């Protein structure tokens, strides 16, 4: 598969290069609680400044609804980027206005400028092609070339991801190339045994992935909130646990298909059931087919996989040569319900082969639980983009870069 790389842009010394990064990091006030995406953007920026390019970094942060909102400012991100690059990074207080124009004009060879949050401009996410294109043309006025490196947004047809790349010579950055290399290894001739671990809250978010991967994997492990729809499909009562009743028949189809294909589809045998959704709620471990048999009866809700399940999942993960994991096993943000997610993360660090953490909540979980990025084969920067790629979808932000 072809992908235009930075080399295709020719010599970049003295050229203004707009780099579309994904710097959508979690903030508490002005404090970045997980800088993984900022760190992931550094190699491409360094590759460009090393050539003497004048680098203009653009990104979104959060969902500010097309208007400036101080709590979504990229100013703290620009500061952190400067620390990681070991030099000054300029910051423009608007996207394509007077401050951005002046600071682009003042940019010297090898210097870096971050523009304010793209989504402060309604054109970035507009469904109106004309409005979106107009904003892209304003961004293009700053650029001699464009490098797209925000893997977390390549599934979005947005001004800085789709339109801008058509207005100037464009190429993929090092992060997108690395992400695609890993995802390609997950879909084309993966080393076996191949296990996929899926969690998170909803089955409906993972339907396409399950359908696309069932013919390709040896083992499919199901945890998180979505497990209760699988249990219900087997006829078990799940109390007040998260349940998508409209997906029960679909799930029954997956259970049948897995059996037909010889795929080991592993469901939890025990669950941590709580009285309520809170860190100090009373809770106990119940068999997966007896969730309503706890002291909480039909009002109990499952918030994590149980210890027996965690051990069984870990055993299968460690026995695999290729593992892809997307979605926590429970409500990892609350300490009493983090053990299942921790066990899966720990097992992934022990895989003798390729272990991939599929972005989003899974990436946040491993860092919050104290694991470091280098303990895993790869931590994706794009949860939704990774999943859509694994569903076999054509992603607009890759298509525009020549990926077929």
Instruction: Answer yes or no: 261 catalytic.
Output: no
E strands along 166-299, which residues?
170-172, 194-198, 219-222, 264-266, 270-274, 283-287
Instruction: Answer yes or no: 50 catalytic.
Output: no
Looking at 360, 382, 383, 397, which residue is catalytic? 360
Number of H helices, E strands in the chain: 14, 17
Residue set of the binding site for ATP: 206, 302, 333, 359-362
**SS3 at position 211:** helix
Instruction: Answer yes or no: 360 catalytic.
Output: yes
Q: Name the region of 107 (left: φ>0; alpha: ψ -120 to 50; beta: rest).
A: beta
Polymer length in residues for the chain: 404
Looking at 202, 252, 321, 393, which residue is catalytic? 202
Which two three-digit tokens encode residue 366? 């491993």
Residue set of the binding site: 22-24, 37, 60-63, 119, 156, 206, 302, 333, 359-362
**SS3 at position 81:** helix
Looking at 37, 133, 168, 240, which residue is catalytic? 37
Q: Which of 214, 225, 331 is nearest to 279 (CA)?
A: 331
Residue set of the binding site for (2R)-3-phosphoglycerate: 37, 119, 156
Instruction: Answer yes or no: 127 catalytic.
Output: no
Looking at 152, 199, 382, 384, which residue is catalytic? 384
Contact 80, 61 (CB under 8 A): no
E strands along 130-217, which residues?
145-148, 170-172, 194-198
Q: Which of 227, 233, 231, 203 is nearest to 289 (CA)?
A: 231
Active site residues: 37, 202, 360, 384
């Amino acid at each position: 598969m072809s992908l235009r790389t930075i080399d295709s842009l020719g010599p970049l010394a003295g050229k203004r290069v707009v780099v579309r990064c994904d710097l959508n990091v979690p903030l508490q006030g002005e404090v970045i609680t997980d800088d993984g995406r900022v760190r992931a953007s550094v190699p491409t920026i360094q590759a460009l400044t090393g050539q003497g390019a004048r680098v203009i970094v653009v990104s979104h942060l959060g969902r500010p609804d097309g208007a400036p909102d101080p709590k979504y400012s990229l100013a703290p991100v620009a500061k952190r980027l400067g620390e990681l690059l070991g030099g000054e990074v300029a910051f423009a207080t608007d996207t394509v206005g007077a401050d951005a124009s002046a600071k682009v004009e003042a940019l010297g060879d090898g210097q870096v400028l971050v523009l304010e949050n793209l989504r402060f401009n309604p054109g970035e996410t507009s469904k109106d092609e004309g409005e979106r294109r107009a904003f892209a043309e304003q961004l293009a006025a700053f650029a001699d070339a464009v490098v797209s490196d925000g893997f977390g947004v390549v599934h979005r047809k947005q001004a800085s991801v789709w339109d801008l790349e058509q207005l100037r010579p464009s190429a993929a950055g090092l992060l997108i190339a690395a992400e695609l290399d890993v995802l390609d290894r997950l879909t084309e001739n993966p080393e076996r045994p191949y296990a996929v671990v899926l969690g998170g809250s909803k089955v409906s978010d993972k339907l396409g992935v399950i359908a696309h991967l069932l013919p390709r994997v040896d083992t499919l492990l199901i945890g998180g909130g979505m497990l209760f729809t699988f249990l219900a499909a087997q006829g078990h009562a799940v109390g007040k646990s998260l349940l998508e009743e409209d997906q029960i028949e679909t799930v029954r189809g997956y259970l049948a298909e897995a059996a037909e294909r010889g795929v080991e589809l592993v469901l939890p045998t025990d669950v941590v059931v709580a009285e309520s959704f809170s860190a100090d709620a009373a809770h106990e471990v119940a068999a997966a087919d007896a969730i309503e048999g706890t002291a909480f009866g039909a009002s109990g809700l499952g918030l994590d996989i149980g210890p027996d399940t965690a051990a069984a999942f870990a055993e299968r993960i460690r026995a695999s040569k290729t593992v892809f994991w997307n979605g926590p096993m429970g409500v990892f943000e609350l300490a009493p319900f983090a053990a299942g997610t921790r066990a899966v993360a720990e097992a992934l660090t022990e895989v003798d082969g390729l272990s991939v953490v599929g972005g989003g909540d899974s990436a946040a979980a491993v860092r919050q639980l104290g694991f470091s990025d280098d303990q895993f084969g790869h931590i994706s920067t794009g949860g939704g983009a990774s999943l859509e790629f694994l569903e076999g979808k054509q992603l607009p932000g890759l298509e525009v870069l020549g990926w077929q």
